Structure 1
Amino acid sequence: MDTVKISKRLSYVLRHAPESIGITLSPDGWVQIDTLLRALAAHGHRVTRAQLDTVVADNDKQRFAVDGDRIRASQGHSVQVELGLTPVEPPELLYHGTARRNLASIYADGVHRGSRHHVHLSADAQTAHKVGSRHGAPVILVVAAAAMADDGHHFYRSANDVWLTDEVPARYLRGEA
């Protein structure tokens, strides 16, 4: 199995469907690496520890965190986990990458987390462009993050520097980057 397929499988299992291979995540999202590798193999996805370590180390978005003999997804979960994130002050502006086809809805209703725990934002337009490109013709929206924080919205920063918040109301969108 190549590293892209392994990364996608890990994202699916650790963020959305641990039960698909018969594992249970701890309340804070961790699972023993040996347990994960055995469960993947039992479901037809043989991954070695060396392959897993390569995927974790080489993932450009640092989607996974390893702590000793445990692993978890850094963010993006649709299953209930408590990542233990502490609210932090955001920069003045953050960026949200999306597909052009979503603009009318976003400008009317804001950005919502959908089935995930948080809305994901980027500190720079280039990263947001990469995110938006995954969904079609990308558009980069500028978010008035400091103004949101001043109005009581909470922001968090994951271990891989993704900015997270519960929602972005439309009034905080400042157009396209």
Structure 2
Amino acid sequence: MIRQCTEHGYFRGGSCPQCEHPGRYVLDDVREEKLGRFVSGSLRHFPASAGVEMDECGWVDLNALCDVMKNRYRWMRKEHLYALVESDEKGRYEIRGRLIRARYGHSVNVDLDYRESDFPYVYYGASPEEVDVLLENGIFPIKQRYVHLSTSYEKAAEVALVHTESPVILQIDAQKARTDGLSLKLATDYIVLAEKIPPEYLFVVED
């Protein structure tokens, strides 16, 4: 559920996490999920099929997206799109003026124009079955435009636990990779994007 606190803005749950005020109702769980799935698909995977135009950096006209969503969901209001974006704890999307885009997770071919990450090391969680292959061949995107890396060991483990019960965490020497000309883009405080990570920059983090 998404609600709005008059002091702290949109939030998810029953009360504002900062002041515990119940706030104003905006979206229930069912409608939040419907809109969230459509926004994710439109901004990451099938903009043309959704009926919107995406530029080379992943930006879509916000009003155009709203119009498409209103045609699909008659109850939808523009506020709902802002509420989805601003209450999202994972920072999946960003709005800049009249434009909106997904920060990460694309399968369409985009060239995200983020600044270079300055983390000396970043991390990637894998299953035990994958590790030897990754150490030999490197990390390449599968069904996505970019490899998604984490800025901390803990975040990498958290992501990997979704797919495996016993994640192995690989450390990437990001500083050396950048020196050698690889681009590592900072999408959020926790996510770094790369087109590939060759094996020479990978090391297993021992427990």
TM-score (norm 1): 0.83
CA distance in 2, matches of 1:33, 1:167: 31
Output the amino acid matched with 1:130: E
Matched, 1:39 2:92: no
CA spacing shift, 1:152–1:57, aligned 2, 3 Å: same
Matched, 1:124 2:152: yes
1:80 aligns with 2:89: no
Q: Which runs of 5+ in 1 are unaligned?
A: none
> For residues 4 and 127 of structure 1, do their structure 2 counterparts lie closer, same or farther at Cα, with a shift above 3 Å needed?
farther
1:23 has 2:52 as partner? yes
**Bigger shift: 112-121 or 14-23?**
112-121
User: Between Structure 1 and Structure 2, which shows a larger proportion of helix residues?
Assistant: 1
Distance 2:174 2:72 in 1: 43
Separation in 2 of the partners of 1:126 and 1:7? 26
Shift of residue 121, structure 1, vs aligned partner: 1.3
After superposition, residues 16-165 of structure 1 pair within 5 angstroms as 16-43=45-72, 47-86=76-115, 88=116, 90-137=118-165, 138-159=167-188, 161-165=190-194
Percent identity reads 27
Say whether residues 1:11 and 2:18 are aligned partners. Answer: no
Q: CA deviation at 1:131?
A: 2.1
Question: More deviation in 106-115 or 60-69?
Answer: 106-115
Measure, in 2, the Cα distance between the counterparts of 1:130 and 1:5: 25
Pair member with larger Rg: 2
C-alpha separation in 1, matches of 2:79 and 2:153: 34
Q: Could you tell me how far apart the structure 2 residues matched to 1:45 and 1:73 are? A: 24
**For residues 100-151 of structure 1, what are the alpha-carbon distances to aligned partners after superposition, in whole Å with 9 as ceiling and x for unaligned?**
4432321221110234332111111222223223333343221111122232
Gap change, CA 1:140 and 1:51, over 3 Å in 2: farther
Q: What residue ranges of structure 2 are gaps of 5+ in the alignment? A: 1-29
Q: Determine if contact 1:63/1:160 at 8 Å carries over to the other structure.
A: no
Closer, same or farther: CA 79–122 of 1 in aligned 2, 3 Å: same
